[in-house]
Amino acid sequence: MPNIVIIGNGVPAISAIETIRAEDQESSITLFCSEGVLPYDRALLAAHLAEQIKEPQLHPKHESFFKEHGVDIVLNEQLSRVSTKRKYVAAESKRQFPYDRLLVTDLGAVHGPDIKGHGKEGIFDCAHYKSIGALGQHIPFIDNAVVCVSNFLGLNTACALKMLGKEVSVVSAGAGILPDIFDEETTLLLKQILEGKGLKVMAENAVEEILGDAEVKAVRLRSGKVIAAQAVIFDDLKADTRVFTDGSCEGVDMITTDQPSSGVHDFGLKVLDGTCAGMVRSGPQGGREYMQFDGPDNVYKKIFVRDGHIVGFVLFNAAFAKEKLLRDLLEGKAVAQTQEQLFNEYFQTVS
């Protein structure tokens, strides 16, 4: 009977189990959770940090799901090596898990940017359960935090810290916020709204050095500016692939992200009520985009239309329109072709 080993602690590990069992009821499945907890939804970590949700709500599936699907869960072992030549996964306890097929959704071990001073206490990532837990324990000792934001996890973590009463400085490599996700107009407006909510945004910048002795005291930016901080949080992480001791990932199915390029993303927590779905910037396929911004209320709506159908949208503080927009996006419904008609259909309750 074939042995399938899955390494991962995120939602993709659950999806992999469901996909396998839909076609294969016989193979043995071992799920190696190197973080020591059941798989969890990384998108909810910031809400947990902000005390909006309890720890059990992080986990989409509980033990009964894995029992029903015939999955052996390894929770109390640390991953030490993967041999793709001899086809086994090894734990630090020396226990080995042979496999015929290996799926890796995440390795648990990551490393952030190679920045001077990176070994100090007070440096966290915002994509892992244990790191967010450590950040939560560090909260009483934080007055000022620096969050390097390149994705939704980083943005939500910055908002969570603001909700907890901390002074937050957001560092972004682009001119606005999330330039690799949104178009320039949206990124600059997002920056403007965050600043209006009291977050400091250091755009077109980067952390070059983390200052302090054993603990973080401040950061020095590329611009030369020094910002006081007792915590630095990164969201741009690289998987630590040194566990692949054969020097190759050949023959391994890698599913390495919890954040698909399309799909639905809610972001900003209570600092900003943001939602986006589908294509959120114009692409080579053409199409049209319709935008409206109500400055006093920070209500921003942008809809992307191609060939008479909605292909994506971004909403700030207009969540009431989300369900209808998403339904029509997923169903491929034909929509009106003028901005007035389109906005009347979806936003007519806006005064």
Beta bridge partners of 244: 82
Residue 351, pLDDT above cutoff 50? no
Read off the tokens for 208. 């070059």
Residue 1, pLDDT above cutoff 90? no
For every residue of 10-56, which 3-state class applies, written as one string? Answer: CHHHHHHHHHHHHHCCCCEEEEECCCCCCCCCHHHHHHHHCCCCCHH
DSSP state of 334: B
Q: What pLDDT band is residue 260 in, cutting at 50, 70 and 90?
A: very low
Mean pLDDT of 51-77: 95
pLDDT in tens, 274-293: 999 999 988 777 789 999 99
Under a CB-based contact definition with an 8 Å cutoff, are residues 291 and 305 in contact?
no
Mean pLDDT of 135-141: 97
Share of the chain above pLDDT 70, in %: 94
Under a CB-based contact definition with an 8 Å cutoff, are residues 106 and 239 in contact?
yes
Q: How far apart are CA 131 and CA 46, in angstroms?
A: 11
pLDDT in tens, 307-342: 999 999 999 999 999 999 999 999 999 998 789 999
For residue 66, the tally of other CB atoms under 10 A from its CB is 18
Please name which of 294, 302, 290, 301 lies closest in space to residue 337, comparing C-alpha atoms.
Answer: 290
Residue 350, pLDDT above cutoff 50? no
Burial of 252 (0-12, 13-18, 19+ CB in 10 A): middle
Q: How far apart are CA 49 and CA 156, in angstroms?
A: 10
pLDDT in tens, 146-199: 999 999 999 999 999 999 999 999 999 999 999 999 999 999 999 999 999 999
Q: How many residues does the chain have?
A: 351
Q: How far apart are CA 317 and CA 222, in angstroms?
A: 33
Residue 87, pLDDT above cutoff 90? yes
Domain architecture of the chain: domains with CATH: 3-108+241-254 (3.50.50.60), 111-234 (3.50.50.60), 273-347 (3.30.390.30)
DSSP state of 332: T
What pLDDT is attached to residue 261? 43
